[in-house]
Amino acid sequence: MTDMQSQQDVFFVRREIVPSSKPPMRVHGPIAWMRTNLFGSVGDAILTLVGLVIVIAVVVPLVQWAFINATWNGDNREACAANTVGACWAFVKANMGQFIYGRYPDPERWRVNLFFVLLAAGIIPMTIPSLPYKGWNLVYLFIVFPLVSGFLLVGGLFGLPPVETPLWGGLFLTLVVSYVGIAVSLPLGVILALGRRSNLPGIRVVCVTIIEVGRGVPLITVLFFAGILLPLFLPNGVNFDKLIRALFGVALFASCYMAEVIRGGLQAVPRGQYEGAKALGLGYWRMTRLIILPQAISIVIPGIVNTCIGLFKDTSLVYIISIFELLSTVRNSFTDPTWATSTTPASGLVFAAVVFWVFCFGMSRYSAFVERRMQIGLRH
C-alpha cells in the first residue's frame, strides 16, 4: 500500500487526453499542397511558371474573346462588324435553327424534335445498367425506332407532308448519319468478324479483304466511291437518294472498324467457352449466339463506344458529296452576306466544336464508366 502511494508520488500519470494539436503547415493546408504539387523542386517550380505563362497566354485571351468582348445580341452583321476582338454570338443565335434543323421546313420541325426525344428515350435507358428489359430496349433501338423515325422524318404517310432529304441538315442530320452508321455497322461488323475467324478459307479471305481495304483507305475515298461510283455501278434508271448513298458509304466504312473491335472480343473469350459449348452439343450458330457473342460483345463495349466516337466525328466528312450536316451547315453560313464579318468564322467553328465535344466527351465518359464497372466484376 505504501509502496503504491510512493510510486504514485514518483510517477506522473496523465488522466485526461491531451487535445490534439494542429498538424504542421508543411504537411497540411494549401501551402503544403502547393509545396508538393507545384514547387517540389527547382525544376518543378520552373515547370509551374511555364505552365502559368501558358495558362495566362491562352486562357485570358480566350475568356476575353469568348465572354468579355463578345457581341451577344444583334440582328445583322452591323452588330458584330465593329467588334474585331470578340466572338459574334449574335450570329450563332440567329442561325441556331439552321444549325440544328438544316433547311427542314419550319412548321414541320416538331417532327425533328420528336425524333430527338425518341432517340434519347432509346439510348438513355440503354446506358443505365440497373434498368431492366435490355432486350426490349435493343428491339426498340434497332427495329422500332428506325422504322418510326424513318416514316416520321421522310413523311408522305398518315397525312404528314413529305420532306425531301436535300432539306435535311444541321445537328439533326449529324445524328441521323451517326445513328444509321452505328446501327448498321454493329451487325455487319459482327458478321465480318465472325467471317474473319471462320475455318472456311473462302469466307475468311473475302472478309479479310473487305476489312483491310476499308481500314486502309480514308473515309473521303469511300464517300467518293459511294457518291460518284455507285450510280455508275447500278443499272440505268435505278438511282438512290444521295443521303442513302452517303449512309451506305459511312456504314460500310464503320463496319470494317467495328469488325476489328469485335474480333478482339471474340479472341478474348476463353477457349474453354468454345469447347464447353461444343461439348453441350451446340452447333456453330447456337454456340455463337448463346455463348460466344454475349461475352465477346460485353468485353469490347468500351472499344465499340470508341468506334462510335470516331464515327460521330467522321460524319463531318459527308459534306464531300454535298450533304450538309452540322459542320458544313455552319461553314455555309459564313458566306451569308447578312452576317459575314471577320469574327464570324471563329464564332461558328467554336460553336460547332462545343457541340461535337459535348457528344464525344459524353460518349468517352460512358466508355470509361463501363470499363471501370467491368474491372470491378473481374476483381472477384
Partner 1 sequence: MAVIEAGRIRPSRDSWWNNPAVRGIAYQVILIVAILAFGGWIANNTVTNLRERGIASGFGFLGQRAGFDMTTLLPVTSDSTYGEMLVAGLVDTIVVSFFAIVLATILGLIVGIARLSSNWLVRTIATIYVEVLRNIPPLLVILFWYLAVIAAFPSIREAIQLGPDFSLSNRGIFMPRPVFGANFHYVLIAFVISLIVAWAVRRWAHARHMATGKTFHSGWLALGIVVVVTLAVYFMTGDPLTFEVPVKTRFNINGGWTVSPEFASLLFALGVYTASFIAEIVRSGILAVSHGQTEAARALGLKQGQLTRLVVLPQALRVIIPPLSSEYLNITKNSSLAVAIGYADLVSVGNNVLNPTGQSIEVVLIWMLFYLGISVVISFAMNVFNARIALTER
Q: Which residues bind partner 1 (CB under 8 A)?
A: 36-38, 40, 44, 47-48, 50-52, 54-55, 199-203, 206, 213, 215-221, 224-225, 228-229, 231-236, 309, 313-314, 316-317, 319-320, 327, 331, 334, 342, 345-346, 349-350, 352-353, 356-357, 360-361, 364
Smallest gap from residue 103 Cβ to partner 1 (A):
21
Smallest gap from residue 220 Cβ to partner 1 (A):
5
Q: How far apart are CA 148 and CA 118, in angstroms?
A: 9
Decide whether 54 or 60 has the Cβ nearer to partner 1: 54
Smallest gap from residue 160 Cβ to partner 1 (A):
32
Decide whether 116 or 224 has the Cβ nearer to partner 1: 224
Decide whether 149 or 328 has the Cβ nearer to partner 1: 328
Smallest gap from residue 73 Cβ to partner 1 (A):
22
Given a contact cutoff of 8 angstroms between Cβ atoms, the answer to whether 222 and 214 are in contact is yes
Decide whether 98 or 341 has the Cβ nearer to partner 1: 341
Decide whether 98 or 316 has the Cβ nearer to partner 1: 316
Give the CA dihedral 198, 201, 205, 211, nearest 10 degrees.
Answer: 10
Q: How far apart are CA 51 and CA 86, in angstroms?
A: 25
Smallest gap from residue 378 Cβ to partner 1 (A):
18
Decide whether 48 or 69 has the Cβ nearer to partner 1: 48
- 277-311: burial string, b at 16+ Cβ within 10 Å, e else: beeeebeeeebbeebbbeebbebbbbbbbbbbbeb
184 half-sphere exposure, CB direction, 13 A CA radius: 19
Decide whether 39 or 116 has the Cβ nearer to partner 1: 39
How many Å is the maximal CA-CA distance in the chain? 121
First to last CA, the chain: 60
Smallest gap from residue 16 Cβ to partner 1 (A):
41
Q: How far apart are CA 259 and CA 246, in angstroms?
A: 20
Smallest gap from residue 228 Cβ to partner 1 (A):
5
Decide whether 185 or 315 has the Cβ nearer to partner 1: 315
Smallest gap from residue 338 Cβ to partner 1 (A):
18
